Structure 1
Amino acid sequence: MLTFLGISMVVVFTYLIMTKKLSPVNALTIVPIIFAIIGGFGSKLGEMMLEGLKVVAPSAALLLFAILFFGILIDAGLFDPLIKKMLQIVKGDPVKIAIGTAILASTVALDGDGTTTHMITISAMLPLYLRLGMNPLILAIISLLSLSVMSGMTPWGGPATRAITSLGLDANEFFIPLLPTMLGGLLTIIGIAYVLGRKERQRLGVIDIEYKRNHAGELPELAAAYEVAQTESLKRPKLIWINLLLTITVMVVLVMGVIPVPVLFLVGFVLASMINYPNIEQQKERLLAHAGNALTVVTLVFAAGIFTGIFSGTKMVDAIANSLVAIIPDSLGSFFPVVVALTSMPFTFVLSNDAYYFGVLPILAEAGAAYGVDPVEIARASILGQPVHFLSPLVASTLLLVGMVKTDIGELQRYGFKWAIICSLSITIIAILTGAITVL
């Protein structure tokens, strides 16, 4: 009975999200409540939901302050010198332009927001691609893959946050072992960028472009595109080194695990806002500017707490996992994290991240536990298919991306599937070799 009820709940939840009958927040809250009542758990609903909220509270705080922290630094122009210098260096060489795109997109994607990543990367680089006659799909797929790795693995990015929240994991324990995999993923993307850029170099050659500099020594034609994504009055060029030092310090403390990650980003956000915008009114304006994005994500996390609290409290997860274990051949038990990594590619392509991480992942984690696999390894394995996921039409930032490069989702998928699969397989192999996921 519990197995049937749990599977039905996941199916209904997935259907409602994929068909957009309900928003993710509404579906995460209403669907489990209805199924819990049907299963006769109405008297325990409050207790289960509160327990779920307690589990996700640290992840919600982490997301809130990480979004605000990186938002302040982007507003202040921390990445401006890197972008402008890159535009000057790459000039007319398609290989340099493609690699520069990968470095730029990966850097900006550290804030975990797909919309910001694509807006800055495409705005900065598209004029250069069009000027040289390079295929804009190269720009699109490099930006997409960079986002999938950097946002997919960082604990404040969407996929990792969902995995951590869904299984009630510690962010540091999840993230630190993935650092070599993230680095390997970045190198893979740079390698893909090199291959794509080399093909364009063979087709177009190296084009010598001369730009007349303005009185400030800038390249106005290229820099202007990036200026669209930024408000000049918010930038703090004189504080660039202080902001860089603050960012490095936060990252070092994060890796060392000296203090809880949510507290770290709270302190980082407070310092960043005080340093760059000492006026209280300015601080309020910056907070309000990023509040919409932060509130949307945090609300989603708390709604996920309701879903996971009921899913676990009713023991539906246990029942489904036991049924799943019964049909999985014992020979695959020792390779279960690898199975999760490989199946995450098709699963996350046809399912939204919400449906996969809140509906499917808990089941996989329970099944893995039967084979002695730590849930944190299942969580790490589950994000390795994100390069393929980001080609899905279910991803809002990808729809923005195709609009910015003036193509359609089908064209991007046809061009990018091969590279996305290569990227996913590459980071899966690296994760195995570095011990992020293990084969028992």
Structure 2
Amino acid sequence: MLSLIGLAVIACMTTLLILGRISPVVGLTLIPIVGALIAGFTPGEISDFFETGLSSVMDVAVMLIFAIIFFGIMNDVGLFNPLITLTVRLTRGNIVAVAVGTVLLAAVCHLDGAGASTFLITIPALLPLYQRLGMSPYLLLLLVCTSMGILNMLPWGGPVGRSAAALDLDPVGIWRDLIPVQAISMVMLVGMAVLLGIREKHRVERRQAALVAAGEAGDHHAGASSENGAGWASGTEEPATASRAKMWVNAALVFVVMGLLVAEVVPPALCFLIALCAALMINYPKVSDQMERIRAHGGAALGTGAIIFAAACFLGIMQESGMLESLASDSVGLLPESAVPYLHLIVGILGLPLELVLSTDAHYFALLPLVESIATEAGVGTLAVTYTVIVGNVIGTYISPFNASLWLGLGLAGADIGKHIRYSFFPMWIFSVAVLLVSLAVGAIPWS
């Protein structure tokens, strides 16, 4: 019963979000509450579930609110304009080159395995460039999230660490064997970035041509790809920035913030609160200007924060009620006996869709041990099961609504979870299955 209700909650919420028929706040709050009531949980128990979920996202929500306002101010003063100018000059406004650069930058930034810090570095820095070139922010999210998924095979990444804990394995040993898979994945991702970049270039050109035909091209933001790229590359057009002295102070402030986040000297929320105060005092000495900037970016920050708090209701109910664990075990039990020797391959191929149904914890602490125990009885090795499940699932880590840091990335990009899933699901799934099959074919992952 729990499995059916959990599946219905997830299917209903995901479908409505993808179709844009319901707002994230409403869907993440009301649908799981109704599901929990149908499952027989009391209002008191549901309140406890919510409080548990709230405690898991509180730090992310508070950090996100202050981070959005902080980076909004950094954009207002033109801090990232020199970086954008340099990037466009290096790529000469080439959308394909920008797409490739995105995956490489995200990979470098995600070496620490922390999704929040990677989003905080890549999205604010690259989003203005994407906007200037008329590129979709959802392409930015797709490329960054896929690159982060590949780097999550590191031993300090969530999936590998959880797999090692669940099956009593060495996380470094798991990663060492997956290094060839990571290399294969990055090469394939660069190729996918090229293909997606070409598709995006054609889309921007078609949109620009349509604007020209409609007589609206002028200075229209979305048609700025070749014009802005060529102008910036030749140095004939330079966006306005703050004074040089303030620019260096602002840059130093951003680097200090990132350093404190990586070093974990202070909590991220406090770090961004202090950084926001410093940014306001440096760039806007007048109190009236400070309050005006807060109001200018406060709407987006609080709107995204509200979604995070609503996600706490969804996460808390689905995890604490036992719906996810029940769903994981019952899903495996429905397979016919003839499929048991290939169970790990089936779970690997379906790894990304399962990420929309199960949280990372449920996937590795509930589903993986169950698959491993069944597959090993059929003669499949534990390592073969582990590697297949990880590689099949890890690419989709940052498409799941269960991932708290994804909501941070969506907030920074001003994106919608439903549109992100609709835009990224099939490219990421096709890529995930391709990586798994290639890794199996070359022997990087054993078949059994």
Instruction: Give the structure-1-normalised TM-score.
Output: 0.58
| Distance across 2 between alignment mates of 1:194 and 1:253 | 34
Identify if the C-alpha distance between structure 1 residues 63 and 125 changes in structure 2 by more than 3 Å, giving closer, same or farther.
Answer: same
| Distance across 2 between alignment mates of 1:272 and 1:186 | 37
CA shift at 1:343, angstroms?
3.9
CA shift at 1:153, angstroms?
7.2
**Other-structure match for 2:309:** 302
Identify if the C-alpha distance between structure 1 residues 146 and 291 changes in structure 2 by more than 3 Å, giving closer, same or farther.
Answer: same
1:278 aligns with 2:285: yes
CA shift at 1:212, angstroms?
12
Contact 1:28-1:304 at 8 Å conserved across structures: yes
Contact 1:361-1:382 at 8 Å conserved across structures: no
CA shift at 1:218, angstroms?
5.0
User: CA-to-partner distance for each residue in 1:256-304, whole Å, 9 max, x for gaps?
Assistant: 3333333333333232222222322222222222212211221111111
Identify if the C-alpha distance between structure 1 residues 18 and 82 changes in structure 2 by more than 3 Å, giving closer, same or farther.
Answer: closer
| Distance across 2 between alignment mates of 1:183 and 1:384 | 20
| Distance across 2 between alignment mates of 1:281 and 1:187 | 51
Contact 2:25-2:310 at 8 Å conserved across structures: yes
Correspondence 1:418-433 to 2 at 5 A = none
Identify if the C-alpha distance between structure 1 residues 245 and 15 changes in structure 2 by more than 3 Å, giving closer, same or farther.
Answer: same
**Other-structure match for 1:57:** 58
Correspondence 1:113-128 to 2 at 5 A = 120-125=128-133
Query: Given residue 48 of structure 2, which amino acid in structure 1 is its aligned partner?
Result: E
1:18 aligns with 2:25: no
Identify if the C-alpha distance between structure 1 residues 313 and 105 changes in structure 2 by more than 3 Å, giving closer, same or farther.
Answer: closer
Contact 2:6-2:318 at 8 Å conserved across structures: yes
Identify if the C-alpha distance between structure 1 residues 153 and 64 changes in structure 2 by more than 3 Å, giving closer, same or farther.
Answer: farther
Among 97, 100, 123, the alignment partner of 1:99 is 97
Deviates more, 1:326-335 or 1:359-368: 326-335
3-state SS of the aligned residue for 2:56? helix
User: CA-to-partner distance for each residue in 1:175-214, whole Å, 9 max, x for gaps?
Assistant: xx9xx999999987766677899999xxxxxxxx9x9999
Contact 2:9-2:35 at 8 Å conserved across structures: yes
Contact 2:324-2:362 at 8 Å conserved across structures: yes
CA shift at 1:19, angstroms?
3.7
**Other-structure match for 2:363:** 364
Deviates more, 1:318-327 or 1:421-430: 421-430
**Other-structure match for 1:45:** 46
Aligned length: 345
Contact 1:114-1:397 at 8 Å conserved across structures: no
3-state SS of the aligned residue for 2:247? helix
Correspondence 1:230-269 to 2 at 5 A = 235-269=242-276
CA shift at 1:247, angstroms?
1.8
CA shift at 1:320, angstroms?
1.3
CA shift at 1:322, angstroms?
1.9
Identify if the C-alpha distance between structure 1 residues 245 and 150 changes in structure 2 by more than 3 Å, giving closer, same or farther.
Answer: farther
Contact 1:29-1:307 at 8 Å conserved across structures: yes
Contact 2:66-2:272 at 8 Å conserved across structures: yes
User: CA-to-partner distance for each residue in 1:353-395, whole Å, 9 max, x for gaps?
Assistant: xxx37x665653432354688x999995533679xxx9xxxx9
Identify if the C-alpha distance between structure 1 residues 284 and 265 changes in structure 2 by more than 3 Å, giving closer, same or farther.
Answer: same
User: CA-to-partner distance for each residue in 1:19-67, whole Å, 9 max, x for gaps?
Assistant: 4342121111111221222222124222222222222211212222222
Q: For structure 1, which runs of at least 5 residues remain unmatched after alignment?
A: 127-138, 156-162, 165-176, 201-208, 349-355, 402-409, 431-438
**Other-structure match for 2:9:** 9
Contact 2:392-2:433 at 8 Å conserved across structures: no
Q: For structure 2, which runs of at least 5 residues remain unmatched after alignment?
A: 107-117, 150-156, 159-174, 202-226, 373-385, 401-405, 407-412, 440-446
CA shift at 1:15, angstroms?
3.3
Contact 1:6-1:316 at 8 Å conserved across structures: yes
**Other-structure match for 2:78:** 77
3-state SS of the aligned residue for 1:16? helix
Identify if the C-alpha distance between structure 1 residues 291 and 427 changes in structure 2 by more than 3 Å, giving closer, same or farther.
Answer: farther
**Other-structure match for 1:318:** 325
| Distance across 2 between alignment mates of 1:308 and 1:197 | 34
1:30 aligns with 2:47: no
Query: Given residue 219 of structure 1, which amino acid in structure 2 is its aligned partner?
Result: T
Identify if the C-alpha distance between structure 1 residues 245 and 12 changes in structure 2 by more than 3 Å, giving closer, same or farther.
Answer: same
CA shift at 1:219, angstroms?
0.9
| Distance across 1 between alignment mates of 2:98 and 2:13 | 41
Instruction: Give the structure-2-normalised TM-score.
Output: 0.57
CA shift at 1:305, angstroms?
1.0
Contact 1:364-1:378 at 8 Å conserved across structures: no
3-state SS of the aligned residue for 2:133? helix
1:288 aligns with 2:295: yes
**Other-structure match for 2:217:** none
